[in-house]
A = this chain, B = another copy of it.
Amino acid sequence: MIFQTGTTLRLGVVGLGCRGTSQLGVLLDMEDVTVTAVCDVYEDRVQAACAKVREAKGTLPFGCEDYHKLLERKDVDAVIIMTSWTTHIRIAVDAMNAGYPVAMEVGGASSLEECWQLVRTQEKTGLPCMMLENCCYGRDEMQVLNMVKKGLFGEILHCQGGYHHDLRDEVGNGDINRHYRQENFLHRNGELYPTHELGPISKVLELNRGNRMVRLTSMASKARGMHLWMQKNRPDHALAQAAFREGDVVTTMIQCANGETIVLTHDCSSPRPYSRGGLVQGTNGIWMEDNASVFISGLSPERENYWAPEIWEPFSNYRAQYDHPLWKAYENYGLRGGHDGMDFLVLRAFVESVQNGTPTPIDVYDTAAWMAVTSLSEQSIALGSAAVDVPDFTNGRWIGREALPESVYALDAVHDHLFND
C-alpha cells in the first residue's frame, strides 16, 4: 500500500464532529487529495460528510459507523483520525496494523500503555504516524523557532505554554453537541490538553532528538467554573449538581534531560481571553506571547542608564527578518484553512510526507511523549503532586537522533506554486 507519487492521495477520514468536518473541508480543497472513505459513530455525520465530499470531488465516498470497516478498504492510502480524545490511539494502532499511514488530531493519552502500543505498532509496521498538532505551524511559534535556531535567545533555559481557553459553553453543553470534553472534565483531573503548547516547545527544545522530558509534577486548583456555569445556565440539568473533577487551573512542571524546564497550564473553565501563553527564555533573551514582546540582549534597545529598567520590544519588530521561510512562502501562496492557516499547513505536512515518502515533522515518538503528559499529570495529581518519570519512548534513540532539518517544514505544494508562478 505504497502511495504512487504523482497520483491523488486517497484518504480515509475517521471522526466527523466539528473538528473533523472542518479539517475535511481543508483536505477537500487540495487538488492532489481526495477522500474515499468517511466514518463516524453518528450516522447523520457520515451522511453529511459523504455529501460534502461529493460536492467537492464529484464522487461519493464509502461511509460507515464502524471504523474497522474503513480499515478494510483498498481505495484508501492513509487514514486521518479526528475522533474523541480517548479513541485516537486505539484507532491509530488498528490503522497501522491494517497497513495505513496515520495522522491523528490532538489530545492526551489515558494511559502510558497505550502510548507504548502506539510506538510498538509504528516500529513494527514502519508506517508514518503523526499527530496533527497545528500549533507547531502557528506563525508566531514558527518565527520563535526560527529565532531560536538562529541563536537570538542564546541557550534555551525555560519554556512555558498554556491552553487558556474559556470552554465553559462547550463543556457545559457537551451532552447536547455530542462533545467528549464534558465527560473528560467530569471524570478526569489533569493536563488534559497539553499539545498545543507542548508541541511548539518540543521543537524549540528538540525533544526526542538530543533531549527528552525526564520528569514532571502537576497540581490542580479546585474545580468551580463548570459547577457555577451549570447552575447558572442549565439549573435543571442533572450535572448542575455534579462534581466536575477537572481543576479549573492545572499546572504542570517538566524537567528535560538537558536541564531545561517547561511549565504548562490547562485553564478552560474560567472567563478570560484566549491565549497559548507562550514563553521561551534563554541566556540571551526572552519571548512572551501575552505581552506580544521580546527582549533580545544586544538587539533590543539599550536602557537609558544603568538604573533605568530594561524594556520590552514588540515581537512584531522581528517579523520581517525572522518570519519562518515556510510562512513567507505560504503568505505568497495565499493563506487558507482554519485557525489562521495552521490547519492547512499541518495537514499538508502529513499529505506531502506520505506522498514523498519522507519523515513526518512530528513522528510517533513526539506523539507518544506529548500525549503521555496527560496520563502522567493525572497520576501526579492523584498522588499529591508526586514527581513522576516521563518514559523514554525512543528507548535510548533520542541521544543519537539529530535535530530536524529546516526543510522538513517546507511544503512542496507551496514552494512549487511559489517558485513556478
Residues of A within 8 A of B (CB): 155, 157-158, 166, 215, 217, 219-222, 224-225, 228, 247-249, 251, 253-255, 258-261, 263, 267, 270-274, 281-286, 288, 290-291, 295, 297, 309-312, 383-387
A52 to chain B, nearest CB (A): 21
Cα of A221 to Cα of B248 in the assembled complex, Å:
26
Q: Are B281 and A385 in contact (CB-based, < 8 A)? A: no
Q: Are A219 and B291 in contact (CB-based, < 8 A)? A: no
Q: Are A217 and B253 in contact (CB-based, < 8 A)? A: yes
> Which residue from chain B places its CB closest to the CB of A156 in the assembled complex?
B221
The 4 closest A-B pairs by CB, nearest first: A222-B259, A158-B249, A271-B297, A385-B387
Q: Pick 6 A–B contacts, CB within 8 A, sort by A.
A: A158-B221, A215-B219, A215-B384, A219-B253, A251-B253, A291-B291
Q: Are A248 and B157 in contact (CB-based, < 8 A)? A: yes
Best-surrounded residue of A271, A288, A384 (most CB of chain B within 10 A): A271
Q: Are B157 and A385 in contact (CB-based, < 8 A)? A: no
Cα of A212 to Cα of B271 in the assembled complex, Å:
26
Contacts of A225 in B (CB 8 A): 157, 283
- Give chain A's interface secondary structure class: loop
A257 to chain B, nearest CB (A): 11
Q: Are B387 and A217 in contact (CB-based, < 8 A)? A: yes
Cα of A225 to Cα of B153 in the assembled complex, Å:
12
Q: Are B272 and A385 in contact (CB-based, < 8 A)? A: no
Q: Are A260 and B221 in contact (CB-based, < 8 A)? A: yes
Contacts A155-B224, A272-B286, A386-B386 known; 11 new A-B pairs at CB < 8 A: A215-B385, A217-B387, A219-B254, A219-B261, A249-B281, A251-B261, A253-B253, A270-B283, A270-B286, A274-B310, A291-B291
Contacts of A312 in B (CB 8 A): 273
Among B166, B261, B297, which residue has its beta carbon within 8 angstroms of that of A220? B261
Cα of A106 to Cα of B267 in the assembled complex, Å:
32
Taking A158-B248, A158-B249 as contacts, is the C-beta distance between A272 and B281 under 8 angstroms?
yes
Q: Are A285 and B311 in contact (CB-based, < 8 A)? A: no
Contacts of A249 in B (CB 8 A): 157-158, 261, 281
Taking A217-B217, A248-B157, A253-B219 as contacts, is the C-beta distance between A309 and B274 under 8 angstroms?
yes
Contacts of A290 in B (CB 8 A): 288, 290-291
Contacts of A288 in B (CB 8 A): 290
Contacts of A260 in B (CB 8 A): 221-222
Contacts of A158 in B (CB 8 A): 221, 248-249, 251, 267
